[in-house]
Amino acid sequence: MNVSKLREKVRNIPDFPVKGIQFKDVTTLFKDSATLKELSDGLFKMYQNKGITKVVGIESRGFIMGPLLADRLHAGFVPIRKPGKLPAPTFEATYDKEYGTDTIQIHRDALDEQDVVLLHDDLLATGGTMVAAVDLIRKFNPRKIYVNFLIELEDLKGRKLFDPDIEIESIIKYNI
Protein backbone atom coordinates (compact mmCIF):
# COMPACT_ATOMS: atom_id res chain seq x y z
CA MET A 1 0.00 0.00 0.00
CA ASN A 2 1.43 3.36 -1.04
CA VAL A 3 0.76 5.43 2.09
CA SER A 4 2.35 8.56 0.59
CA LYS A 5 -0.05 8.39 -2.34
CA LEU A 6 -3.00 7.90 0.01
CA ARG A 7 -1.86 10.81 2.20
CA GLU A 8 -1.80 13.09 -0.86
CA LYS A 9 -5.46 12.26 -1.54
CA VAL A 10 -6.70 13.35 1.92
CA ARG A 11 -8.28 16.81 1.79
CA ASN A 12 -7.79 19.26 4.68
CA ILE A 13 -10.77 21.41 5.65
CA PRO A 14 -9.86 24.19 8.12
CA ASP A 15 -12.30 25.19 10.87
CA PHE A 16 -14.70 22.26 10.32
CA PRO A 17 -16.96 21.35 12.06
CA VAL A 18 -15.92 24.12 14.46
CA LYS A 19 -13.26 26.83 14.45
CA GLY A 20 -9.80 25.51 15.27
CA ILE A 21 -10.36 21.96 13.96
CA GLN A 22 -8.32 20.93 10.89
CA PHE A 23 -10.68 18.29 9.46
CA LYS A 24 -9.16 15.40 7.52
CA ASP A 25 -11.65 14.59 4.76
CA VAL A 26 -11.34 10.91 3.75
CA THR A 27 -14.07 11.09 1.10
CA THR A 28 -11.33 12.03 -1.37
CA LEU A 29 -9.81 8.55 -0.82
CA PHE A 30 -13.01 6.93 -2.11
CA LYS A 31 -13.85 8.99 -5.18
CA ASP A 32 -11.32 7.41 -7.54
CA SER A 33 -11.51 3.67 -8.12
CA ALA A 34 -7.73 3.06 -8.13
CA THR A 35 -7.27 4.71 -4.72
CA LEU A 36 -10.33 2.96 -3.30
CA LYS A 37 -9.00 -0.39 -4.55
CA GLU A 38 -5.54 0.26 -3.09
CA LEU A 39 -7.09 1.12 0.27
CA SER A 40 -9.40 -1.92 0.18
CA ASP A 41 -6.57 -4.27 -0.81
CA GLY A 42 -4.30 -2.89 1.90
CA LEU A 43 -6.92 -3.25 4.63
CA PHE A 44 -7.74 -6.77 3.49
CA LYS A 45 -4.07 -7.80 3.65
CA MET A 46 -3.78 -6.39 7.18
CA TYR A 47 -6.64 -8.55 8.49
CA GLN A 48 -7.02 -11.54 6.15
CA ASN A 49 -5.43 -14.02 8.58
CA LYS A 50 -6.90 -12.72 11.85
CA GLY A 51 -10.09 -14.82 11.86
CA ILE A 52 -12.39 -11.79 11.76
CA THR A 53 -16.06 -12.80 11.99
CA LYS A 54 -17.59 -9.30 12.26
CA VAL A 55 -16.51 -5.88 11.07
CA VAL A 56 -18.11 -3.12 13.14
CA GLY A 57 -18.26 0.33 11.54
CA ILE A 58 -18.94 3.60 13.34
CA GLU A 59 -21.39 6.08 11.85
CA SER A 60 -20.89 7.46 9.34
CA ARG A 61 -17.53 7.13 7.64
CA GLY A 62 -16.98 3.69 9.16
CA PHE A 63 -19.90 2.62 6.96
CA ILE A 64 -17.86 3.10 3.79
CA MET A 65 -14.85 0.81 4.13
CA GLY A 66 -16.40 -1.37 6.85
CA PRO A 67 -18.86 -3.28 4.63
CA LEU A 68 -16.31 -3.53 1.80
CA LEU A 69 -13.81 -5.06 4.18
CA ALA A 70 -16.41 -7.36 5.77
CA ASP A 71 -17.31 -8.72 2.33
CA ARG A 72 -13.68 -9.40 1.45
CA LEU A 73 -13.05 -11.09 4.83
CA HIS A 74 -16.23 -13.20 4.53
CA ALA A 75 -17.42 -11.60 7.76
CA GLY A 76 -20.64 -9.91 8.81
CA PHE A 77 -21.01 -6.15 9.14
CA VAL A 78 -22.46 -4.44 12.23
CA PRO A 79 -23.21 -0.70 12.44
CA ILE A 80 -22.68 1.48 15.49
CA ARG A 81 -25.03 4.44 15.13
CA LYS A 82 -26.21 7.59 16.81
CA PRO A 83 -29.33 7.36 19.01
CA GLY A 84 -32.67 6.71 17.39
CA LYS A 85 -31.26 5.11 14.21
CA LEU A 86 -31.30 1.42 15.21
CA PRO A 87 -34.75 -0.21 15.41
CA ALA A 88 -34.14 -3.08 17.88
CA PRO A 89 -33.05 -2.90 21.56
CA THR A 90 -29.59 -1.36 21.97
CA PHE A 91 -26.67 -0.81 24.31
CA GLU A 92 -25.39 2.77 24.37
CA ALA A 93 -22.36 4.75 25.48
CA THR A 94 -21.92 8.51 25.91
CA TYR A 95 -18.48 10.05 25.54
CA ASP A 96 -16.58 13.32 25.15
CA LYS A 97 -14.91 14.22 21.88
CA GLU A 98 -12.75 17.09 20.64
CA TYR A 99 -15.68 19.49 20.21
CA GLY A 100 -18.57 18.21 22.34
CA THR A 101 -20.35 15.16 23.75
CA ASP A 102 -21.99 12.37 21.77
CA THR A 103 -23.73 9.01 22.20
CA ILE A 104 -23.49 5.83 20.14
CA GLN A 105 -25.54 2.62 20.13
CA ILE A 106 -25.27 -0.99 18.96
CA HIS A 107 -27.99 -3.63 18.72
CA ARG A 108 -28.04 -5.95 21.73
CA ASP A 109 -27.96 -9.00 19.45
CA ALA A 110 -25.19 -7.74 17.11
CA LEU A 111 -22.31 -9.87 18.44
CA ASP A 112 -21.59 -12.87 20.63
CA GLU A 113 -18.75 -14.54 22.54
CA GLN A 114 -17.53 -16.43 19.47
CA ASP A 115 -16.88 -13.29 17.43
CA VAL A 116 -13.50 -11.88 16.48
CA VAL A 117 -14.26 -8.22 15.88
CA LEU A 118 -12.57 -5.65 13.69
CA LEU A 119 -13.78 -2.21 14.77
CA HIS A 120 -13.27 0.33 11.98
CA ASP A 121 -13.54 4.10 11.73
CA ASP A 122 -11.98 6.83 9.65
CA LEU A 123 -9.98 8.78 12.24
CA LEU A 124 -8.28 8.48 15.62
CA ALA A 125 -7.95 11.90 17.25
CA THR A 126 -8.53 12.07 21.02
CA GLY A 127 -10.02 8.55 21.02
CA GLY A 128 -13.37 9.19 22.69
CA THR A 129 -15.58 7.68 20.00
CA MET A 130 -13.55 4.51 19.58
CA VAL A 131 -13.08 3.94 23.31
CA ALA A 132 -16.87 4.17 23.72
CA ALA A 133 -17.27 1.72 20.81
CA VAL A 134 -14.79 -0.72 22.40
CA ASP A 135 -16.75 -0.47 25.66
CA LEU A 136 -19.93 -1.36 23.77
CA ILE A 137 -18.28 -4.33 22.07
CA ARG A 138 -16.86 -5.62 25.35
CA LYS A 139 -20.44 -6.08 26.60
CA PHE A 140 -20.59 -9.08 24.23
CA ASN A 141 -17.33 -10.60 25.53
CA PRO A 142 -15.92 -11.42 22.06
CA ARG A 143 -12.82 -13.57 21.64
CA LYS A 144 -10.74 -10.68 20.31
CA ILE A 145 -11.11 -7.01 19.31
CA TYR A 146 -8.98 -5.34 16.65
CA VAL A 147 -9.23 -1.59 16.00
CA ASN A 148 -8.47 0.09 12.69
CA PHE A 149 -8.38 3.69 11.47
CA LEU A 150 -7.66 5.17 8.07
CA ILE A 151 -6.01 8.20 9.76
CA GLU A 152 -4.37 8.77 13.13
CA LEU A 153 -3.52 12.21 14.54
CA GLU A 154 -0.58 11.02 16.62
CA ASP A 155 0.00 14.26 18.56
CA LEU A 156 -3.43 13.94 20.19
CA LYS A 157 -2.34 10.62 21.76
CA GLY A 158 -5.73 8.93 21.48
CA ARG A 159 -3.99 5.55 21.29
CA LYS A 160 -3.01 5.84 24.98
CA LEU A 161 -6.67 5.43 26.05
CA PHE A 162 -6.83 1.80 24.90
CA ASP A 163 -5.96 -1.26 26.96
CA PRO A 164 -2.84 -3.11 25.78
CA ASP A 165 -4.95 -6.12 24.70
CA ILE A 166 -6.46 -4.03 21.87
CA GLU A 167 -4.39 -4.23 18.67
CA ILE A 168 -4.61 -0.84 16.92
CA GLU A 169 -3.62 -0.14 13.33
CA SER A 170 -3.83 3.10 11.39
CA ILE A 171 -2.79 3.62 7.80
CA ILE A 172 -2.00 7.33 7.49
CA LYS A 173 -0.39 9.09 10.45
CA TYR A 174 -0.18 12.83 10.96
CA ASN A 175 1.60 14.98 13.53
CA ILE A 176 -0.40 18.16 13.80
Question: Could you give the residue numbers annotated as active site?
Answer: 61, 98
Q: What are phi and psi of 22, to 5 degrees?
A: -100, 95
Instruction: Give the CA diameter of the chain.
Output: 44
What is the rounded CA–CA span in Å between residue 156 and residue 20? 14
- 111, 173, 167, 120: which is closest to 142 by C-alpha? 111
